[in-house]
Amino acid sequence: MNRIKDLFKVKDKAILNVFVTAGYPNLSDMPEIVKTLAASGVDMVEIGMPYSDPLADGETIQHSSKVALENGMHLDLLFEQLRALRPTVDIPIILMGYFNQLMQYGVEAFIQAASEAGVDGMILPDLPLIEYERTYKPLFEAANISVSFLICPSTPADRIRKIDTLSQGFIYMVADAATTGQTRDLSEAQRTYFKHIQRLDLQNPRLIGFGISTRDHFVQAAQFARGAIIGSAFLRAIDPKKPENESNSLDERIRGFVGSILEPTVSVG
C-alpha cells in the first residue's frame, strides 16, 4: 500500500499538497500543523527537512529552514515527531530535502527510519536522475517510498519520458523556471508549457509547484494537472512575525489559509 498512489486513484482533480518546514515556526509545531491541514481538506503534505544551504529554495523557505535549525530541528527528532503523528492522520506524507542530508544520515538508515515513520514519498531536488537510477532506486522501492522528480520548461521531452519511467507516485512540475516564492499569475508561456506536457500522455500524474500562492493560481493549475503544491505562500500565511498574524492562533491561520485556497470567495452585497 502506498498512500500517494491510493490518493491519485480516488481523487481525480484539484489535489492540494501543502508544504511546511519541520520545526517551523516552533520546534514542535509540525505535527499539529499537519493534523489541521488534513482536517481542513488538504490532500497531502510535503514536509521540508530544514537544511543550511537550500539551493533550490527561495527566500521564504530559506528563512523557515534557518528558523527551524535555530529551533533545534534535526532528523532524529523529525522522525520521532512523524512516528507519533502517523497514526493520527491518513493523508500521504512526503519529505523534501537535500541529498547531503541523506548521505550523512546514511541513505539506507534514512530510508528505514522514513519507512518506519510512515513516510510515503520523497522529493530530493538535487539528487541526479543518474545517481538514483544507478544506486538508490531499489532501496526506495523496497521500502515502498515513492521518489518524485521535478520537470521544468527546460527539461527535454526524452528526459521527461525517462523521468516518467523512473518516477513513482507523481511528477513535480515546476510552474516557472524559478526558485520558490515568486508570485505571479499563470502566464501564457506557462499555459502553453502545461498543455505541451498534457499532450505527452505520461503514466504518472503531475502536480504543479513553485509560485502557486492564491486560489486563482490553484484553480488554474488544477486545469492542467491533477493538482498543485503550495509552499512559500503557506509559510508566509503562518509566519508569527507578520503583524496581520498576531491576533490569530496558528490553528486559525492554517484554517484561514486553506479556506482561502479551497473555498470560492463569497461576494458580499
Partner 1 sequence: MTRIDEHGYYGRFGGAFVPEMLFRNIEELRRVYTDWIAEPAFQKEFQALLKDYVGRPTPLYFAERLSEKYKSQIFLKREDLNHTGAHKINNTIGQILVAQRVGKTRIIAETGAGQHGVATATVCALKGIKCIVYMGEVDIERQAPNVARMRMLGAEVRPAKSGSKTLKDATNEAIRDWIQNPEDTHYIIGSVVGPHPFPDMVARFQSVISEEMQKQLLDKIGREHPDRIIACVGGGSNAAGAFYHFLNNESVKLTAVEAAGEGVESGKSAATSILGRDGIIHGSRTLLMQTKDGQIIEPHSISAGLDYPGIGPLHAHLIDSGRAEAIPITDKEALEAGFELSRLEGIIPALESAHALAALNKLALEKEEVVVVNLSGRGDKDLATYIRHMGE
Residues annotated as catalytic are 46, 57
Q: Give the binding range for partner 1 (CB under 8 A) out of 98-106, 139-147, 229-237, 256-264.
A: 98-106
Residue 89 touches partner 1, criterion: CB under 8 A: no
Whether the CB-CB separation of 254 and 20 falls below 8 Å is answered with no
Q: Which of 12, 28, 84, 100 binds partner 1 (CB under 8 A)?
A: 100
- Beta carbon of residue 243, minimum distance to partner 1 (angstroms, whole number): 22
Nearest to 96 by CA among 139, 45, 138: 45
Query: Could you report how far apart the first and last alpha carbons of the chain are, in Å?
Result: 49
Sign of the four-CA dihedral 111, 113, 118, 122: negative
- Beta carbon of residue 110, minimum distance to partner 1 (angstroms, whole number): 10
- Beta carbon of residue 174, minimum distance to partner 1 (angstroms, whole number): 6
Name which of residues 150 to 189 contact partner 1 (CB under 8 A): 150-152, 154-156, 159, 174, 177-179, 182
Residue 24 or 257 having the CB closest to partner 1:
24
Q: Give the binding range for partner 1 (CB under 8 A) out of 87-95, 103-111, 194-202, 241-249.
A: 103-111
Q: How far is CA 78 from CA 84, 120, 139, 146, 246, in A?
A: 10, 15, 21, 19, 27
Nearest to 41 by CA among 76, 11, 64: 11
Name which of residues 128 to 147 contact partner 1 (CB under 8 A): 128, 130-131
Q: How many residues does the chain have?
A: 269
Over the window 211 to 250, marking each residue x when it contacts partner 1 by CB under 8 A and - when it does not, the resulting string is ----------------------------------------
- Beta carbon of residue 166, minimum distance to partner 1 (angstroms, whole number): 13
Q: Which of 47, 67, 127, 233 binds partner 1 (CB under 8 A)?
A: 127
Residue 218 CB neighbours (<10 A): 21
Q: How far is CA 50 from the centre of its chain?
A: 13
Residue 95 or 258 having the CB closest to partner 1:
95
Residue 252 touches partner 1, criterion: CB under 8 A: no
Half-sphere exposure of 18 (CA within 13 A, CB side): 30
Residue 36 or 148 having the CB closest to partner 1:
148
Q: Residue numbers of the site for partner 1 (CB under 8 A)? A: 51-53, 55-56, 58, 62, 66, 69, 74-75, 98-101, 103-105, 125-128, 130-131, 149-152, 154-156, 159, 174, 177-179, 182
